[in-house]
């Protein structure tokens, strides 16, 4: 029996990393919001790796923070080790990654949600999205509770009809032993949503006391911790080490002998898995020439003996998992606390979404996270934040926040999903961002804080802090351009830095252009330097000066990109009636209905010739209107 439980502006279905950001964003914008979770113990749960960030993903977390999201603040509270990745390469690909105390991460996020004004939290399984005249009206839970809403955000993660696979054994279950959601998929199909089956997997958790660390290589965190959140300046903790080891030829032999018992190779699973996070048996098959594979042993928290076996996800039977693990260097006597498994689940084809993450067929219904075909906590959180923002803006009657590919990694992520689609769980990487030298993780606050302030997620004080930072960077660069040094003052310092001596006066700006010279090298000759200059200011100045030519080139490319993005396509266009378009292009354009020529040009199956036809059509249409 259904009953009216309450009325809300926005209801969020799911409380994983997407649901948490969506609920917090809409509540902070002033909307009465409800988060419904199948279990309150699964809020912000790290069902797989106990870490936040990494290559490409660290950029997303920094952007979430700059817009006023929570993930960066939460990992800063709960990290147990921090590392900046790719520092041997250029700043475009530097990416922050932190190991988390996963239980504390869940507790702190739950605490934040419980304290948030305008936000309620309830444990319940949503079985129906209520839709009236193609407009969302609320949700119904399994107990019959009906919650009326002006907007609904689907952030169901990997729970829809989810199934666990361990060798020949498979059963209905959510991740980490949670209940699956068995009924919502059928309801979404009735609403016209095209669902697909994807899969992912997670390694075993092992007992710390059964590991021989003397046979492994210790991996320490960075001496100086760089916070994820721009609101934090310093983090001082005793970091926990991770450990590096390798599989052996015996490991390979056991997997090869039992490959037919893997759920992945038995044919039990029809779903598609992530290309960039293969199982150990997949690695053995795909990289048959490799004799060993590296593994990382990562602590899951301060107050637990559970350790995560990074690089060894599997769907082999439990007894085979034990056998193969005991052939790994240092794991000869290992005890498993939780077996590895693969999980299969329903998700939506993201081509059915607008760039705002609103479902095209149902007004007011938004979708975010792994349900959209992505993988990873960071990708989920980024989409959740944007969905929460746009659900609120929809209610206000305002234009949605759409970040384009030249503005943010979040823009790249959403544009890739919504415009290009994905045939496997999508993972963010720096290589996906064509303007990555401009979209660095270190300048996310300079790029996006103003947008967060306009929406209402960033305080005026924080925005003013960013404006002050921007001003100080400009002032410092101007000072460096005006400050000259003579050979007598500079040459000794240059020689110590293994840099060529100068024969005449030179500005500090020109000196810093040299690859081997940084701020530390010029400290003893820079007498006009301000006594206190923040680390962030120094970092920005060095990057802007050293990569000036490359940045200017990329900004010119962005200018050209913006021209095509500004050529808007009216929503009422019927592509089937445009002569000259190929059949595939007509079908794809009709399905995706791009907002601009720029977006149209990125659709798979739409050629440059089709774009030319479309431009001619739009110009003729414009002239007819003028006449």
Please give, one letter per residue, the 3-state secondary structure of 218-257.
EECCCCCCCCCCCCCCCCCCCCCCEEEEECCHHHHHHHHH
Instruction: Count up the domains in the chain and report the number.
Output: 3
Is 559 contained in some domain? no
525 and 621 within one domain: no
292 and 268 within one domain: yes
504 and 604 within one domain: no
Is 363 contained in some domain? no
- Asked whether the CA dihedral 179, 39, 198, 33 is positive or negative, the reply is positive
Which strand (E) or helix (H) includes residue 442? none
339 and 264 within one domain: yes
Which strand (E) or helix (H) includes residue 189? helix 184-190
597 and 471 within one domain: no
pLDDT at 264: 85
- Asked whether the CA dihedral 284, 286, 289, 294 is positive or negative, the reply is negative
- CA–CA dist 98, 131 (Å, integer): 41
Rounded to the nearest 5 percent, the helix, strand and coil shares of the chain are: 40, 20, 35
Q: Which has the closest alpha carbon to 575: 605, 548, 545?
A: 605
- Asked whether the CA dihedral 39, 118, 381, 589 is positive or negative, the reply is positive
- Asked whether the CA dihedral 462, 463, 466, 468 is positive or negative, the reply is negative
584 and 465 within one domain: no
Judge contact between 156 and 366, C-beta under 8 A: no
Domain end position, chosen among 282, 315, 344: 344
Is 468 contained in some domain? yes
290 and 258 within one domain: yes
Is 36 contained in some domain? no
Rounded average pLDDT per 10-residue block, the chain, 627 residues? 96 98 98 98 96 97 98 98 95 96 98 98 98 97 98 98 96 95 97 95 97 97 96 94 97 95 86 82 91 96 97 96 97 97 96 97 97 97 98 97 97 97 94 96 97 97 96 94 88 88 90 91 81 84 95 96 93 89 93 94 93 92 83
pLDDT at 551: 96
CA gyration radius, the chain: 26
245 and 213 within one domain: yes
Domain harbouring 280, CATH code: 2.40.30.260
pLDDT at 489: 85
- CA–CA dist 217, 246 (Å, integer): 10
Domain harbouring 602, CATH code: 1.10.150.570
603 and 525 within one domain: no
Is 436 contained in some domain? no
Is 331 contained in some domain? yes
Outline where 29-116 has alpha helix (H): 57-66, 71-78, 102-115
Domain end position, chosen among 327, 344, 361: 344
DSSP string, 381-404: HHHHHHHHHHHHHHHHTPPP----
CA–centroid distance for 211 within its chain:
32
Judge contact between 90 and 440, C-beta under 8 A: no
CA distances from 357 to 33, 253, 411, 449, 573 (A): 18, 46, 11, 21, 21
Is 313 contained in some domain? yes
pLDDT at 115: 98
Using N-to-C axis directions, what is the helix angle for 460-482 and 535-546, rounded to 10°? Answer: 50
Q: Which has the closest alpha carbon to 595: 373, 411, 339, 386?
A: 411
519 and 588 within one domain: no
Residues 6 or more apart from 610 whose CB is under 8 A from it?
581, 582, 585, 589
Question: Angle at Cα 30 formed by Cα 27 and Cα 33, nearest 5°?
Answer: 40
Domain end position, chosen among 344, 373, 408: 344
Using N-to-C axis directions, what is the helix angle for 102-115 and 17-28, rounded to 10°? Answer: 20
Is 165 contained in some domain? no
CA–centroid distance for 189 within its chain:
27
Domain harbouring 479, CATH code: 1.10.10.1800
* Domain region containing 497: 460-552
- Asked whether the CA dihedral 372, 103, 205, 76 is positive or negative, the reply is positive
Which two three-digit tokens encode residue 511? 């000196």
What is the DSSP-derived secondary structure letter of residue 376?
S
220 and 306 within one domain: yes
pLDDT at 166: 96
599 and 500 within one domain: no
pLDDT at 81: 98
Q: Which has the closest alpha carbon to 337: 312, 307, 310, 315?
A: 307
């Amino acid at each position: 029996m259904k009953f009216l439980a309450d009325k809300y502006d926005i209801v969020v279905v799911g409380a994983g990393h997407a649901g948490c950001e969506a609920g917090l964003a809409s509540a902070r914008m002033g909307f009465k919001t409800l988060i419904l979770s199948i279990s309150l113990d699964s809020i912000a749960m790290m069902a797989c790796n106990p870490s936040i960030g990494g290559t490409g993903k660290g950029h997303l977390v920094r952007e979430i923070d700059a817009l006023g999201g929570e993930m960066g603040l939460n990992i800063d509270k709960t990290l147990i080790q921090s590392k900046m990745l790719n520092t041997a390469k250029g700043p475009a690909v530097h990416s922050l990654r932190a190991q988390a105390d996963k239980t504390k991460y869940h507790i702190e996020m739950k605490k934040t949600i419980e304290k948030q004004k305008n936000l309620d939290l309830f444990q319940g399984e949503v079985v129906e999205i209520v839709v009236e005249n193609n407009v969302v009206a609320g949700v119904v839970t399994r107990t019959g509770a009906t919650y009326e809403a002006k907007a609904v955000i689907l952030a169901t993660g990997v729970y829809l009809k989810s199934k666990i696979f361990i060798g020949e054994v498979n059963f209905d279950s959510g991740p980490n032993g949670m209940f699956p959601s068995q009924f919502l998929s059928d309801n979404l199909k009735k609403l016209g949503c095209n669902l697909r089956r994807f899969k992912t997997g997670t390694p075993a958790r092992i007992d710390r006391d059964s590991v021989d660390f003397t046979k492994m290589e210790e991996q320490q965190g960075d001496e100086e911790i760089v916070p994820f959140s721009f609101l934090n300046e310093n983090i001082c903790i005793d970091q926990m080490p991770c450990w590096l080891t390798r599989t052996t030829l015996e490991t390979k032999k056991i997997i090869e002998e039992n490959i037919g018992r893997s759920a992945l190779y038995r044919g039990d699973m029809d779903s598609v898995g992530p290309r960039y996070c293969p199982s150990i048996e997949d690695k053995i098959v795909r990289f048959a020439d490799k004799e060993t594979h590296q593994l990382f042993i990562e602590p899951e928290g301060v107050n637990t003996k559970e350790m995560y076996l990074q690089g060894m996800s599997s769907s082999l039977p439990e007894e085979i998992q034990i056998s193969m693990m005991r052939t790994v260097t240092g794991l000869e006597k290992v005890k498993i606390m939780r077996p590895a498994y693969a999980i299969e689940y329903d998700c939506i084809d993201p081509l059915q979404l607008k760039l705002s993450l609103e479902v095209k067929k149902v007004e007011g219904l938004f979708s975010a996270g792994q349900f959209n075909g992505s993988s990873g906590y960071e990708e989920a959180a980024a989409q959740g934040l944007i969905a929460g923002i746009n659900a609120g803006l929809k209610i206000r009657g305002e234009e949605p926040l759409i970040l384009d590919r030249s503005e943010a990694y979040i823009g790249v992520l959403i544009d890739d999903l919504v415009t290009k689609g994905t045939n496997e769980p999508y993972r963010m990487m720096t290589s996906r961002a064509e303007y990555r030298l401009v979209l660095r993780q270190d300048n996310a606050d300079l790029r996006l804080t103003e947008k967060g302030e306009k929406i209402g997620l960033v305080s005026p004080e924080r925005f003013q802090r960013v404006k002050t930072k921007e001003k100080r960077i400009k002032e410092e660069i101007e000072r460096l351009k005006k400050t000259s040094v003579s050979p007598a003052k500079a040459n000794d310092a240059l020689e110590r830095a293994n840099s060529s001596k100068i024969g005449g006066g030179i500005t500090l700006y020109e000196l810093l252009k040299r690859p081997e010279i940084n701020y530390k090298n010029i400290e003893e000759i820079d007498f006009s330097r301000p006594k206190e200059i923040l680390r962030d200011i120094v970092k920005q100045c060095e990057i802007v000066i050293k990569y000036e030519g490359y940045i200017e080139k990329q900004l010119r490319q962005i200018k050209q990109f913006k021209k095509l993005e500004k050529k808007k396509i009216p929503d009422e266009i019927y592509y089937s009636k445009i002569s000259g378009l190929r059949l595939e292009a007509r079908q794809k354009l009709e399905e995706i209905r791009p907002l601009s020529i720029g977006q149209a040009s990125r659709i798979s199956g739409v050629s440059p010739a089709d774009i030319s036809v479309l431009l001619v059509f739009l110009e003729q249409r414009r002239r007819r209107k003028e006449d």
